[in-house]
Structures are given as C-alpha cells and as structure tokens.
Chains A and B, each alone.
Chain A
Amino acid sequence: GAVVSQHPSWVICKSGTSVKIECRSLDFQATTMFWYRQFPKQSLMLMATSNEGSKATYEQGVEKDKFLINHASLTLSTLTVTSAHPEDSSFYICSAGDSPNQPQHFGDGTRLSIL
C-alpha cells in the first residue's frame, strides 16, 4: 500500500532556530501533498497544500514566511519552520494521495518542541 514517510519524528531546539521537516511518498508519486498541524486532543488543521513545481497554497491565517514549503520533486515536500518560537511547538503531519478523491495517506508526524 501507499506509504508516506516523515522525518524527523521528534525535534527539540532553541528559540530562533529554523527547522526543516521532510515528507516523502515512498511508493507512489504525489503532485500534491498536504501539511497539517495538530494541537493536543484536537483535530487536524490544514496549514497548506504543497504543489510540485509551483508555489504552495496556504490556508487563511497561516504565515507564508513562517512556514516555508518546497515541493521540488514528485516524492518530496519539505516544511521549514523559520525562526521558530515556543508558540510554534506542535505536532506537524503531512499527507499525500495519488489522485483526487482517493485516500490520503499520512506520515507519522513530527513532534516539534521549541525551548
């Protein structure tokens, strides 16, 4: 079945650091990937849609300059949290599907903790 790999699974870093999270589709090509943020005991909040070869589409209220997304190939999207602060601490999850209206497959998430 379709597998999405996310790395790293856990990051702890100092305030002001930039952190890059990778999302890879291992056995299928994904022209579109999605980035979510999840707070404890809450649902998934869509942050942005990552489009291969073009600019990402951000949801309302998500800062483009804070959360940089690059989708340079059909199997890799990266999310960079720039100049991270404690309020950016959260669980970040990516997903990908090989076509519209088909199951989205999720990575195992990245727990980001900013000290």
Chain B
Amino acid sequence: GENVEQHPSTLSVQEGDSAVIKCTYSDSASNYFPWYKQELGKGPQLIIDIRSNVGEKKDQRIAVTLNKTAKHFSLHITETQPEDSAVYFCAASAGGSYIPTFGRGTSLIVHP
C-alpha cells in the first residue's frame, strides 16, 4: 500500500518568514495530493490540493509543488502569521479511491 513520509515533524519560524513542509510517497499510482490544517481540538481542514497532471498550484500565501518523478510534494507558506500555527498533514490517494494516506503531520509554530 501507499506510504507517505512527512518532514519536519516540528517547524518553528518567525512571523513573516516562509515555511516549507515536504512529503514523499511510495505508490506511483497516487494522483491526488491534499494538504490539511488541523487546529487544536478541531478536525483537519483542507487548505489546498494538487493533482498529478499539475506541477504547482498557488492560493494567496499558500503554494504546493509536485514532482511526480521523484514522488515528492511540498507545501510552501509565505509571510507566515501567528494564526498559521497548527498541525499540517499531507496526504496521497490513488485514482478511484476515497481514502487518502496521511503523513505523520508537522507542527508549525509561528512566533510573533
């Protein structure tokens, strides 16, 4: 089955800096890669996603890149703000599947 590795497990940045979270996947059949943000005591919320026919996608301060050959994808957050502090999960799923495989999560801390 699919295996998703996520790094780093903890990321601490100053407000205004950029943050990058990286994930790798093992199943070449995976073609859908969502990113979720989970705030304390809440369920994960989808923040951005990318499909395998696209190399990069951007939404305001958030961007995701995908390298299918290397089987890795990354989340980039620019101009970080304290409210960006949360746990971020990457995930991967293969065609026809409802079920994503999640990474272990990255705890992002943005210091004011």
Contact = CB atoms under 8 A, between A and B. Distances in A.
Interface of A: 4, 6, 32, 34, 41-44, 46, 49, 93, 95, 97, 100-109, 111
B43 A103 contact: no
Contacts, number: 56
Interface of B: 31-32, 34, 36, 41-46, 49, 89, 93-100, 102-105, 107
A101 B32 contact: yes
B49 A100 contact: no
Contact of B93 (A6, A41, A43, A101): A101
A108 B42 contact: yes
Contact of A101 (B31, B44, B104, B105): B31
Most buried by B among A42, A46, A101: A101
